[in-house]
Amino acid sequence: MNEEILSLALRNALIEIKNALPDINWSFILTNDGTVITTEENTVDPNIAKASSSFQSLAEKAGAIGGLDNMLITGEKGKVYVSSINDLYLVAGLAKNADLVYFRTITGAVLPTLLKVLDSVTSPTLTPTPFKPTTPIPYPPAKPTLARPVPSELRIEEEEEEKATEEEYAQPEETEEPETEKLEPSKPQRIEAPRPLENVPSQQLIVDRFSGFMVKADTVQLDADILKRWGALLDLKEIGEVDIETFSGKTARCKAKLINDSKLEGRGLIRIPEKTCQLLDVRRGELVRVKPVTPDESG
């Protein structure tokens, strides 16, 4: 989901909720890693930044009780209510005598629905989306070599584009065969054409950085469910590599492995080594589009 759209939609929702509930003094929404996504004021106040850091450390420890679902702090002068909505937390400062039931009803109905709608509009996970614009390049590539071994290590946008042109230049040879067969109606058309890029599933995932001595920069970690689903869609036993694309357009191809931390499973995360995050210029909590590399693409 586009971060800007998400932030704008949630900010408008917070403003509307505040209009309906005058007992709300302030509110903001943060991710489970402590990143403030949106505030009513459209600016991250230092107080909010400080509070979000407190909530993040608390949310981490709350794993002992199955994760933080909601929290109410009752003070002499007011209340703070924290509520978990999907992977986000709504934090609201309320008046001392605020109607908490009404507040919960409104926020519990509006925000999850909004997130669901945004998710379905911007990131339909079941409908395959093209990973990159695949406009045909009319001119032949400068290098005539067709098959160049693809290094398994990380490579950046320029190299990928170069390869894309090479692959497209190579494709006509393969596509000629099915065309000739079409002319003979008696023969069954059983030749498998190369899978078009549009049919390759892709998914937006939240970036989580990790580092360490034994961490390989060219290996990212993904949910078992996602890899399994891609494997089933592409009819592959396992997904060995994935392409990552940031919203700024930077791309990288990395080896794919399962997330090794059970606490991080099923959260829609892609764990990217710190070095690779720097190369891609992405930070923790940002969204990237990830798609599996098919054997045709991996060369």
Binding site for other proteins (CB under 8 A): 26, 47, 50-51, 54-55, 57-58, 61-80, 93
Pick 43 or 145: Cβ nearer other proteins? 43
At its nearest, how many Å lie between other proteins and the CB of residue 208?
21
Q: Identify the sign of the CA torsion 153, 156, 158, 163.
A: positive
Of 275, 287, 283, the residue nearest 244 (C-alpha): 287
Taking the C-alpha atoms of residue 28 and residue 282, their distance in angstroms, rounded to an integer, is 23
- State the DSSP string of 185-236: TTS---PPPPPPGGGS--EEEEEEEE--TT--TTEEEE-HHHHHHHHHHHT-
For other proteins, give the closer residue by CB, 49 or 232.
Answer: 49
Of 93, 85, 82, 290, which is closest to residue 205 (Cα–Cα)?
290
For other proteins, the closer of residues 26 and 247 by Cβ is 26
Residue number, 64 or 142, with CB nearest to other proteins: 64
Q: How far is the CB of 89 from other proteins (least distance, A)?
A: 13
Least distance to other proteins from the beta carbon of 84, Å? 9
Question: What gap in Å lies between CA 295 and CA 250, rounded to an integer?
Answer: 22
> Least Å distance between CB 172 and other proteins?
56
- Rounded to the nearest whole angstrom, what is the least distance from the CB of residue 214 to other proteins in the complex? 27
Q: Give the shortest CB-88-to-other proteins separation in angstroms.
A: 16
* Closer residue to other proteins (CB): 46 or 136: 46
> Cα separations (Å) of 104 from 124, 134, 166, 204?
28, 46, 56, 29
User: Rounded to whole angstroms, how far apart are CA atoms 10 and 152?
Assistant: 40
In this complex, which beta carbon is closest to other proteins, that of residue 71 or of residue 150? 71
* Token pair in block for residue 255: 């080896």
**Token pair listed for 229:** 């689903």
Q: Please name the residue that has the structure tokens 């919960």.
A: 104
